[in-house]
Structure 1
Amino acid sequence: MTVSATLAANEAVAARRAAGQEVLALGFGEAGIPVHPLLSQRLAQAAGRIAYGPVAGTDEARDAAAGYWTRRGNPTAGGQVLLGPGSKPLLFALQHAIGGDVVLPQPAWVSYAAQSQLLGREPIRVPVPEGEGGVPDAALMAAAVRDARAAGRDPRLVVVTLPDNPTGRLASEASVQALCEAARELDLVIVADEIYRDLVFKPGAFPSPSEWAPERTITTTALSKNYALGGWRIGAARFPGSELGSRIQETVRGIASELWSSAPLPMQHAAAYAWSDPAELVDRVAMARRLHGAVANAVAEVFAAVGCDVRVPQGGFYVWPEFGPLRAALAERWGVRTSADLARVLLDEFGIVVIAGDAFGDDPAALTIRVAVTGLYGESDSQRLAALLSDDPLEMPWLAESLDSLRDKLKALVA
């Protein structure tokens, strides 16, 4: 097991900058904006809390998370919530608790597959519907699950991401509904990673699997994306109020008691405030959504202008360009034949840090990369805050310069 591709990219950026090298840091999926002072104050208020607390979390924080989901159309009681030190440990504990093989969309966030492999299981990858992301194609999933069971494997759960990392796309309601119907027929538990839910660019209905398969959908979230609290480590899982949900929740609670004991109490105090949706923080998320959407769309246009196939991003802060139309030129000039080759050339020749598509389970020959646009927001908190507060962040000089630099480097790559 090697270091996660996303974390390795972050370390590569730090090492190159320490060596005085210029870098366009588009690899690490960090939210890229300063922490709201009110959240820092809440954390400071609770800094002296040193007890472990209940395994599932404090009543205050669990009730706040329940309210967060309820206000988003998913009625929840505090008893259905379990907290952990980030959503990543919760996702691992869920795979462990449910057991069996996991079905993943192709592509999918790097850690889902790695966590499955840590448990000694290879994931079953199923392509996403054309033009979408985060959800396996339901018909292909049904066929793959039946084939796997015929071969003696034991698929028990499917993990989906709404909106998606790495593609930045939001699965359609039709695709999510079809997935839910297939999961019920195949008796699969659905784990819906909705950590980017608050960062969907256009308002409208959100296609959560909990709407169509409430009895078998477990939803996870955290504060690292919408509130830019990466590294603070607090996440929540919502379990269905069914017999299945209660059984899995109790198993996860037992796993949690042995792995992390309880989520840090100071962070639970801050999280309880954040999940209560105070007006100041709701406004902050709206500004973040505007910033992410403006820059992601601008970056997508830059890649499209040099000849890449790029779907318009719909949420989060990622772009997923595909260099297939440029395959011949890249092979001739740079020897690029895989997405890993492409990411290496972008880094070594142009100082652009991205993640190769094959790290997310995509076909290496597809020449896809994941671009995290938050690395363009600024080099300091003051620059990032100015971009966040701006009605037109693309007019910020440093951001415009970074976009111009990316444009020039890509033109040189494909010239």
Structure 2
Amino acid sequence: MTVSATLAANEAIAARRAAGQEVLALGFGEAGIPVHPLLRQRLAQAAGQTAYGPVAGTDAAREAAAGYWTRRAIPTAKEQVLLGPGSKPLLFALLHAAGGDVVLPKPAWVSYGAQAEMLGRDPIRVPVPEGEGGVPDADAMDAAVRAARAAGRDPRIVVVTLPDNPTGRLASEQSVKALCEAARELDLIIAADEIYRDLVFEPGAFPSPSAWAPERTVTTTSLSKNYALGGWRIGAARFPDSPLGERLRESVRGTASELWSSTPMPMQHAAAYAWSDPQELVDRVALARRLHGSVANAVAEVFAGAGCEVMPPQGGFYVWPDFEPLRASLAADWGIATSADLAEVLLERFGVVVLPGSAFGDDPERLTIRVAVPGLYGENDSERLAALVSDEPASMPWIGDALEGLAQKLRALTAPE
């Protein structure tokens, strides 16, 4: 097992900067905004809580998480909630509890496939609907699962992301409904990673699978993305109110008791406050949503201007350019034939850190990359906070300079003199 591609990218950025090399850090999916002072205070207040807590989490934190989902039209009781040190270990424990093979959208976040492989399972990757992301095409999934079962495999769970990492797209209600119908017909558990839910740019109904397949959908969230608290490591899983949900929750709780014992108590104290949606934090998330949307769309325009195919991002802070229209010139000028080649040239020749599409399960020969935009928000907390509160974040001078620098590098890549 190698280091996760996203974390490896972060280490590469740090190493290049330590060596005094220029780097445009667009590889690591960290939200890139300062922690809210009220959250810092809550964490400090609980710093003395050193005892082990309940495996599932404290009543206060689970009640807060249940309220978080209930206010988002997913009625939840605290008994359905289980906390963990981030949503990643919760997902791993869920895959272990589900057993059998794992179905993934193509492309999908790097850790989904890696976790399946750690459990000895080769993921079944299914293309997403045209122009969408995060959810397998329902008809293609039906065919893939039936073919896998005919070949002796045992698919039991499908993982979806709403909105999506890496594409930045939000699956349509039609696609999510179709997925839920197919999952019920195929008797698949649905793991809905909704970690970016509060960062959908445009208001409107959110297509959570829990609305159409409540008896089989496990939903996860955390504080990592909407509050930019990735290093605090706390997440929550909501299990369905059904016999299946009870079985899965107890299995995950048993795994948790052997792997992480309990979620750090100070983090639970801060999370209980955050998941209660106090107005100060609701306002902070609204500012973050505007910042991410403004810069992500500006970055998408830069890649489109360079000749890439790119769908406008709809949530999170990622852009998914496809360099296919430039394949001939990239091959002739740089010897680029795969997304890994493309990412390497961008790093070694231009100091731009991105991740190749192949890291997310995309076909290696496709010239897709994932671009994480928070690396443009500023060099320090002062700049990042100024960008956060700006009415037009992409127009901040340092962000504008970074966008122009990116455009220049892409021009040098796609039309070298």
Q: How does 1:305-320 map to 2 (within 5 A)?
A: 305-320=305-320
The secondary structure found in structure 1 opposite 2:92 is helix
Residue of structure 1 in register with 2:136 after alignment: 136
The secondary structure found in structure 1 opposite 2:293 is helix
Runs of 4 or more, structure 1, over 4 Å off, are none
The secondary structure found in structure 2 opposite 1:366 is coil
Residue of structure 2 in register with 1:299 after alignment: 299
Instruction: Give the whole-Å Cα distance in 2 for the aligned partners of 1:164 and 1:112.
Output: 13
Instruction: Give the whole-Å Cα distance in 2 for the aligned partners of 1:395 and 1:226.
Output: 22
The secondary structure found in structure 1 opposite 2:232 is coil
Letter in 2 for 1:152: G
Residue of structure 2 in register with 1:197 after alignment: 197
Q: How does 1:70-85 map to 2 (within 5 A)?
A: 70-85=70-85
Instruction: Give the whole-Å Cα distance in 2 for the aligned partners of 1:153 and 1:395.
Output: 52
Residue of structure 2 in register with 1:227 after alignment: 227
Q: Displacement, 1:394? A: 1.7
Instruction: Give the whole-Å Cα distance in 2 for the aligned partners of 1:207 and 1:375.
Output: 29
Instruction: Give the whole-Å Cα distance in 2 for the aligned partners of 1:109 and 1:270.
Output: 27
Residue of structure 2 in register with 1:38 after alignment: 38
Q: Displacement, 1:412? A: 0.6
Q: How does 1:37-186 map to 2 (within 5 A)?
A: 37-186=37-186
What is the identity percentage for the equivalent residue pairs of Structure 1 and Structure 2?
80
Instruction: Give the whole-Å Cα distance in 1 for the aligned partners of 2:356 and 2:306.
Output: 18
Residue of structure 1 in register with 2:207 after alignment: 207
Letter in 1 for 2:363: D
Q: What whole-Å deviation, never above 9, does each CA across 1:334-373 have from its counterpart, x for those lacking one?
A: 0000000000000000000000000000011110000000
Instruction: Give the whole-Å Cα distance in 2 for the aligned partners of 1:394 and 1:111.
Output: 30
Q: Displacement, 1:396? A: 1.3
Cα RMSD, aligned residues only: 0.4
Instruction: Give the whole-Å Cα distance in 1 for the aligned partners of 2:54 and 2:272.
Output: 15
Instruction: Give the whole-Å Cα distance in 2 for the aligned partners of 1:313 and 1:113.
Output: 23
User: 5+ residue gaps in structure 1?
Assistant: none
Instruction: Give the whole-Å Cα distance in 1 for the aligned partners of 2:395 and 2:312.
Output: 21
Q: What whole-Å deviation, never above 9, does each CA across 1:156-215 have from its counterpart, x for those lacking one?
A: 000000000000000000000000000000000000000000000000000000000000
The secondary structure found in structure 2 opposite 1:48 is coil
Instruction: Give the whole-Å Cα distance in 1 for the aligned partners of 2:394 and 2:196.
Output: 22
Letter in 1 for 2:213: A
Instruction: Give the whole-Å Cα distance in 1 for the aligned partners of 2:394 and 2:173.
Output: 31
**Does residue 252 of structure 2 align to residue 288 of structure 1?**
no
Residue of structure 2 in register with 1:350 after alignment: 350
Letter in 2 for 1:62: R
Instruction: Give the whole-Å Cα distance in 2 for the aligned partners of 1:281 and 1:176.
Output: 29
Residue of structure 2 in register with 1:408 after alignment: 408
Instruction: Give the whole-Å Cα distance in 1 for the aligned partners of 2:403 and 2:42.
Output: 36
Residue of structure 1 in register with 2:374 after alignment: 374
Instruction: Give the whole-Å Cα distance in 1 for the aligned partners of 2:300 and 2:391.
Output: 20
Instruction: Give the whole-Å Cα distance in 1 for the aligned partners of 2:107 and 2:8.
Output: 19
The secondary structure found in structure 1 opposite 2:206 is coil
The secondary structure found in structure 2 opposite 1:206 is coil
Instruction: Give the whole-Å Cα distance in 2 for the aligned partners of 1:9 and 1:414.
Output: 23
The secondary structure found in structure 2 opposite 1:231 is helix
Instruction: Give the whole-Å Cα distance in 2 for the aligned partners of 1:344 and 1:379.
Output: 24
Letter in 2 for 1:373: V
Instruction: Give the whole-Å Cα distance in 2 for the aligned partners of 1:29 and 1:52.
Output: 30
Instruction: Give the whole-Å Cα distance in 2 for the aligned partners of 1:230 and 1:247.
Output: 29
The secondary structure found in structure 2 opposite 1:50 is coil
Residue of structure 2 in register with 1:327 after alignment: 327
Residue of structure 1 in register with 2:14 after alignment: 14
Instruction: Give the whole-Å Cα distance in 2 for the aligned partners of 1:22 and 1:412.
Output: 16
Letter in 2 for 1:161: T
Letter in 2 for 1:224: S
Q: What whole-Å deviation, never above 9, does each CA across 1:73-107 have from its counterpart, x for those lacking one?
A: 00000010000000000000000011100000000
User: 5+ residue gaps in structure 2?
Assistant: none
The secondary structure found in structure 1 opposite 2:365 is helix
Q: Displacement, 1:393? A: 1.1
Letter in 1 for 2:88: K
Instruction: Give the whole-Å Cα distance in 1 for the aligned partners of 2:307 and 2:246.
Output: 50
Instruction: Give the whole-Å Cα distance in 1 for the aligned partners of 2:365 and 2:301.
Output: 23
Letter in 1 for 2:52: Y
The normalised TM-score by structure 1 is 1.00
